[in-house]
Amino acid sequence: MIWYDGGIKPRRPDELLPEEAMGEWDGGIIFEGSKGKLMAGLFGRNPTLLPTSKMKQAKLPRSKFPFVPGGSEGHQQQWVKACKQGYGAYTSSPFSIAGPLTETVLMGNLAVRSYNYSENPQKGSHDFPGRKKLLWDGKNMKITNFEPANQFVKREYRGAWKNALI
């Protein structure tokens, strides 16, 4: 997964025509696979095969997973219902999938928060001197190649709050 943020965008796919928008105004997603590319808006809205001409001939399979009833609020309701029902209750996004995905997305946040912590800052440079690949050790919950980023992984509680944790 490659995360772009702060106005930094990926290279425009060659498959897009000049008049075709890349993503949506608030962001987007590009999936690159061995058989082609899929572009979507934020949260996966309006998925489109690239080049867009492929959409006319594509026979998209029906999803084996049903849509969550109730729109965006339906996900929260499904989660609450599963919590009440207990272990084994159905959710369309189980922790076995959502947990690692969340960890990946949080890595993007660590990269953004760590951007300004460069050993050799060069103001005005266009090569983004703060950009670096962060290596994550999930078992030990830490970045292994850039110690300043670890300050954002866990917080240090002060004073009486140290004893207030459950």
DSSP string, 12-58: PPTTS-TTS-SSBTTBEEEEE-SS-EEEEEGGG-S-EEESTTHHHH-
Neighbour count for residue 39 (Cβ, 10 Å): 23
Separation of alpha carbons 36 and 49, rounded Å: 8
Please give the C-alpha separations between residue 91 and each of 10, 66, 166, in angstroms, as whole numbers.
33, 11, 27
Question: 58 near 46, Cβ under 8 Å?
Answer: no
- pLDDT tier at 127 (50, 70, 90 boundaries)? very low
Separation of alpha carbons 3 and 27, rounded Å: 11
> Average pLDDT over the chain, rounded to whole?
81
Query: Which amino acid belongs to residue 97?
Result: I
State how beta strands 37-41 and 28-32 pair.
antiparallel
What are residue 99's phi and psi, to 5 degrees?
-60, -60
Domain residue ranges of the chain, discontinuous segments joined by +: 1-58, 71-157
For residue 148, pLDDT over 80 is answered with yes
For residue 125, pLDDT over 50 is answered with no
Sign of the dihedral through C-alpha 27, 2, 104, 63: positive
For residue 123, pLDDT over 60 is answered with no
- pLDDT tier at 140 (50, 70, 90 boundaries)? very high
Q: What is the pTM of this model?
A: 0.59
Separation of alpha carbons 162 and 159, rounded Å: 6
Question: 13 near 30, Cβ under 8 Å?
Answer: yes
Shortest CA distance to 38 belongs to which of 30, 46, 13? 30
Window from 47-51, 105-109, 141-145 with minimum mean pLDDT: 105-109
